[in-house]
Amino acid sequence: MLKPLYVYLAATMWIGSWGLFAVDQVSTTINNVIERLESQESSVLLPGYVIHEKNGVKFMIKSETAKKMGVVTLDMECDSSEFWEKIDYEVDLETLEFVIDFNNLDYRDYKIRNLYLAIEPHSPVADDWNIATKGFEYHNFSKTRIPFTEEVAKVTLPLYKSNFESLEKPYPLNVNLEATSANGSDLVNCKEENVYTIPVEKFKDFENIEPFFAEGILPSYDIDNIKVQSNEEDAYIEKFIDYQILRLSGFNLTTNEASLALLGKDLEYSPNVNGDYKWVDHDISFKRIRNQKTVVGLYGDVRKSDLELIKNALQVLHIVAPGLDISYSSETKHVTLPIHITDCDNERGRHIGCIDEYIGVYKWQDFIWVDASLRGDKRSHVLIHELGHALGLSHNLCWDSVMTYEFSGPQVPYFSHVDLMQLHILYHPELKTINYTNSKSAYIYRSQVINQLDLSEERVSYYEDNIKEACYQKPGEYDYLIELQGG
Ligand SMILES: [Zn+2]
């Protein structure tokens, strides 16, 4: 058994100011360390170790560990007071610019490779974050590289407000200067300084954040805030008739018992039961059905292909879910379901909760977040999966469902048969939903669906007991809806 390192270190004469760091990393060399410490009067470093200072206490840690932690040895001059005390900076609240005067100093002389201006919302009460928000504060985390100069540099602060004043709570914004330095071939953070805090009262002067938009993708009936010129009226009316035809075409799609059984199930995390998840009953009356106009808006690191994906999803939703009123807007004031696509990085990641946790999420405040680093089918899969949650779908273990937690299955980038058939029930035009009081959603219950859609109670029960079989329903009449989504 090895004792912790500090027990040995305390015995040496000058070791009082040393603390313990990452014992497990160094335990194998304890004896070696003690020998050296006792034989020498001055501080000594083993090869491969660096000193890290924290709260006035010096720690000795493996340089590899230091690299992972993003700390740098003290002999680097990146945090030199000579540099940091000489430079001047201010935040110009009129122009919302950050102005920095290097006073003829070259930051590269101080082993500073890059200098960044980092902004992050700051909540004094951590629990506050998740209560009043539509996710727009994610866009106020930013990191801008300060251009190199020896004189005065200006950086326009990328600051945004949303139009959800009643829902969004603005937070004061911390403005930090961050320097990186080279450590071998890696860049590591070597200095961080809080230089300013922008008060919430300034939010009114910020730029409005508006959804991504590109002409020529969405049909006119899908654009909620469309402005039709008088010479375009005929074309618009023609398109609007197309829309009504689309919605009518879904009325005759098959509704089946297997889909109702699936709507009554969810998954529960349960390691060691033939995989990590197992089916559980989840009463369909808990589902919130969107009974008010839903307007989607894409924000952040959006690609044209994301809007194309939404366009295809809206097309099939008009058909399978005629009771759902869903469209897109290029103006935040019309958006009810924002989709934020941002990176899950450091501070923002901690705030979103995505670090090591998830790559997409639908939050109960009614917004979606998707990790911007995703590409291709995986990106589409996550986006459609979260949209599925927003519309009322739960997880399942059906092989090729977009809502599947069967991780060996394909990550389909569209609503597949079982997903579409469930949505067809939830937003069936003949189904009378029940409104929650004071809520923008409605609900239904099992026996009501059976009666109103003329289903067999016996068959529903059969699928509920043999839920895996419910996954295999693939009526051919739904095939073209998969094709419409590019599947
Ligand atoms: Zn999910």
Instruction: Write the DSSP assignment of 135-193 as a string of letters.
Output: SGGGGG-EEEEPPP-SSEEEEE---EE-S-TTTPPP--EEEEEEEEEEETTEEEEEEEE
Q: How far is the CA of 92 from the centre of ligand 1 (A)?
A: 43
Q: How far is the CA of 86 from the centre of ligand 1 (A)?
A: 51
Nearest to 351 by CA among 155, 174, 94, 231: 174
Q: How far is the CA of 369 from the centre of ligand 1 (A)?
A: 12
Q: How far is the CA of 407 from the centre of ligand 1 (A)?
A: 12
Name every residue whose Cβ is closer than 8 Å to that of residue 46 and which is 6 or more positions away in sequence: 29, 32, 33, 36, 60
Q: How far is the CA of 123 from the centre of ligand 1 (A)?
A: 28
Q: How far is the CA of 394 from the centre of ligand 1 (A)?
A: 7
Please give the pLDDT value at position 74: 45
Across 244-256, average pLDDT: 92
Please give the pLDDT value at position 125: 67
Give percent above pLDDT 90 in the chain.
57
pLDDT tens digits, one per residue of 437-482: 777 789 999 999 999 999 999 999 999 999 999 999 999 999 999 9
Q: How far is the CA of 360 from the centre of ligand 1 (A)?
A: 8
Please give the pLDDT value at position 45: 52
Q: How far is the CA of 103 from the centre of ligand 1 (A)?
A: 53
Q: Which H or E element spans position 239?
A: helix 233-249
Q: How far is the CA of 423 from the centre of ligand 1 (A)?
A: 16
Q: How far is the CA of 486 from the centre of ligand 1 (A)?
A: 22
Q: How far is the CA of 110 from the centre of ligand 1 (A)?
A: 47
Q: How confident is the model at residue 72 (pLDDT cuts 50, 70, 90)?
A: very low
Kindly tell me if the per-residue pLDDT of 420 is higher than 70.
yes
Beta bridge partners of 327: 295
Please give the pLDDT value at position 303: 97
Q: How far is the CA of 198 from the centre of ligand 1 (A)?
A: 36
CATH number for the segment(s) 220-484: 3.40.390.10
Please give the pLDDT value at position 39: 41
Q: How confident is the model at residue 78 (pLDDT cuts 50, 70, 90)?
A: confident
Decide which of 203 and 76 is more confident.
203
Please give the pLDDT value at position 380: 97
Q: Where do the H-state alpha helices sit in 367-478?
A: 376-391, 417-426, 446-452, 457-465, 467-470
Q: How far is the CA of 87 from the centre of ligand 1 (A)?
A: 48
pLDDT tens digits, one per residue of 18-58: 334 444 444 434 444 444 444 433 344 555 666 666 555 55
Kindly tell me if the per-residue pLDDT of 166 is higher than 80.
no
Q: What are the structure tokens assigned to 4, written together?
A: 């912790």
Q: How far is the CA of 180 from the centre of ligand 1 (A)?
A: 37
Q: How far is the CA of 396 from the centre of ligand 1 (A)?
A: 9
Q: How far is the CA of 134 from the centre of ligand 1 (A)?
A: 18
Q: How far is the CA of 464 from the centre of ligand 1 (A)?
A: 21
Q: Where do the H-state alpha helices sit in 51-153?
A: 63-69, 81-84
Give start-end residues of each CATH 3.40.390.10 domain in the chain. 220-484
The long-range contacts involving 122-127, CB below 8 angstroms and separated by at least 24 positions, are: 122/171, 122/172, 122/173, 122/174, 122/197, 123/171
Give start-end residues of each CATH 2.60.40 domain in the chain. 78-208
Q: How far is the CA of 384 from the centre of ligand 1 (A)?
A: 10
CATH number for the segment(s) 78-208: 2.60.40
Kindly tell me if the per-residue pLDDT of 2 is higher than 60.
no
Q: How far is the CA of 283 from the centre of ligand 1 (A)?
A: 18
Pairing, β 265-269 against β 277-281: antiparallel
Q: How far is the CA of 359 from the centre of ligand 1 (A)?
A: 10
Kindly tell me if the per-residue pLDDT of 318 is higher than 80.
yes
pLDDT tens digits, one per residue of 381-405: 999 999 999 999 999 999 999 999 9
Q: How far is the CA of 318 from the centre of ligand 1 (A)?
A: 23
Q: How confident is the model at residue 1 (pLDDT cuts 50, 70, 90)?
A: very low
Q: How far is the CA of 74 from the centre of ligand 1 (A)?
A: 45
Q: What is the CA radius of gyration of the chain?
A: 29
Kindly tell me if the per-residue pLDDT of 375 is higher than 90.
yes
Q: How far is the CA of 255 from the centre of ligand 1 (A)?
A: 24
